[in-house]
């Protein structure tokens, strides 16, 4: 049986979504975007899932962007753009931490997936870029995410010239969390995911949604909103358990309530 182009597996409370299309340098098809949406819904509804990690098979490309062969022409490209925009909005509204394990080059639409994640770990040697202008297109939606993660002048140089960034440059610009040697990538990612899986799940979910909601708020409005949300978190059963466990010098037992 042929494997799907996007794999889904839950291991140790983490949902792994693995782009599995090496023959097309892990380019995104319309079907794959739909699978991403389906899998995000599945992970959101699964109380046993504490976070999501997005990665890819092979070592050449994490994701090379949209499969242009499947979106040639205005109608196909419009459909793909709309589905992709919906996916990015779903990732922004997702309530659990999103991590990217970038084991190959990350281009165009792959940048959107990567930048939608909370934490991004990339191996040395991978490249990042927005080459859309080379084929008569423009990274419209991806630019909105780039501007939220780095300085506008730096972003515009990359966008207008299609210059590829090294992993070290991407880290310096704040586009990724950390660049690590290839042999250390799995250890670093798994340590991060293991730590996430042990934390109070409801507090993390409420916190991620609150931070997303306040991203574009003025400071006064954000502080008022976050103060109210802290009251919600403090009133949970998990908060009481966490404080009790701290005082009793034991590990907390989270209930997700």
On whether both 211 and 167 belong to a single domain, the answer is no
Residue 225: C-alpha distances to residues 92, 203, 229, 237, 246 (Å): 18, 16, 6, 21, 27
Report if residue 255 sits inside a domain.
Answer: no
Q: Tokens 């990724």 — which residue? A: 176
Report if residue 43 sits inside a domain.
Answer: yes
On whether both 146 and 19 belong to a single domain, the answer is yes
Query: Residue 219: which CATH number?
Result: 1.10.12
CA 145 distance to own-chain centroid: 11
On whether both 49 and 144 belong to a single domain, the answer is yes
Report if residue 62 sits inside a domain.
Answer: yes
On whether both 77 and 136 belong to a single domain, the answer is yes
pLDDT for residue 217? 94
Q: Please give the residue range of the domain that contains residue 69.
A: 6-197
Report if residue 81 sits inside a domain.
Answer: yes
Count of structural domains within the chain: 2
Query: Residue 167: which CATH number?
Result: 3.90.226.10
On whether both 127 and 223 belong to a single domain, the answer is no
CA-CA-CA-CA torsion sign (182, 28, 36, 163) = positive
On whether both 226 and 151 belong to a single domain, the answer is no
> Strand locations in the chain, DSSP E?
6-11, 14-19, 51-56, 61-63, 98-102, 105-107, 119-123, 127-129, 165-166, 178-180
On whether both 142 and 234 belong to a single domain, the answer is no
Q: What long-range pairs does 88-93 form, CB within 8 A, spacing at least 24?
A: 88/112, 88/116, 88/141, 88/145, 90/37, 90/40, 91/40, 91/116, 91/117, 92/116, 92/212, 93/209, 93/212
Report if residue 29 sits inside a domain.
Answer: yes
Report if residue 254 sits inside a domain.
Answer: no
Going residue by residue through the chain (257 aa), what tens digit of pLDDT does each one get? 688 999 999 999 999 999 999 989 999 999 999 999 999 999 999 999 999 999 999 889 999 998 877 665 555 567 788 999 999 999 999 999 999 999 999 999 999 999 999 999 999 999 999 999 999 999 999 999 999 999 999 999 999 999 999 999 999 999 999 999 999 999 999 999 999 999 999 999 999 999 999 999 999 999 999 999 999 999 999 999 999 999 999 999 999 88
Q: Report the C-alpha gap between 36 and 51 in whole angstroms.
A: 15
| Structure tokens given for 20 | 């599995």
Q: Tokens 């008022």 — which residue? A: 224
On whether both 56 and 82 belong to a single domain, the answer is yes
On whether both 165 and 240 belong to a single domain, the answer is no
On whether both 50 and 102 belong to a single domain, the answer is yes
Question: Is 0.85 topped by the overall pTM?
Answer: yes
On whether both 37 and 106 belong to a single domain, the answer is yes
Identify the DSSP state of 150.
Answer: S
């Amino acid at each position: 049986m042929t494997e799907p182009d996007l794999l889904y597996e839950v291991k140790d409370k983490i949902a792994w979504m693995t782009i599995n299309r090496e023959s097309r340098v892990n380019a995104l098809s319309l079907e794959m975007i739909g699978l991403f949406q389906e899998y995000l819904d599945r992970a959101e509804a699964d109380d046993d899932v504490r976070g999501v990690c997005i990665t890819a098979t092979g070592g050449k490309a994490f994701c090379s962007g949209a499969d242009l062969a499947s979106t040639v022409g205005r109608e196909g490209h419009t459909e793909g753009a709309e589905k992709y925009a919906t996916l990015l909005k779903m990732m922004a509204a997702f309530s659990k931490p999103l991590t990217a394990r970038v084991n190959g080059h990350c281009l165009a639409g792959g940048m959107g997936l990567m930048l939608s994640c909370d934490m991004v770990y990339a191996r040395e040697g991978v490249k990042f870029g927005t080459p859309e202008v080379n084929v008569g297109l423009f990274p419209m939606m991806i630019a909105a995410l780039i501007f939220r993660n780095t300085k506008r002048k730096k972003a515009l140089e990359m966008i207008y010239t299609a210059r590829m960034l090294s992993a070290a440059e991407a880290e310096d610009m704040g586009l990724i969390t950390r660049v690590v040697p290839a042999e250390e990538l799995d250890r670093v990612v798994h340590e991060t995911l293991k730590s996430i899986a042990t934390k109070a799940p409801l507090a993390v979910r409420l916190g991620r949604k609150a931070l997303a909601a306040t991203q574009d708020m003025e400071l006064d409005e954000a502080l008022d909103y976050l103060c109210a949300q802290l009251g919600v978190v403090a009133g949970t059963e998990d908060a009481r358990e966490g404080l009790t466990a701290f005082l009793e010098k034991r590990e907390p037992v989270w209930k997700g309530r």
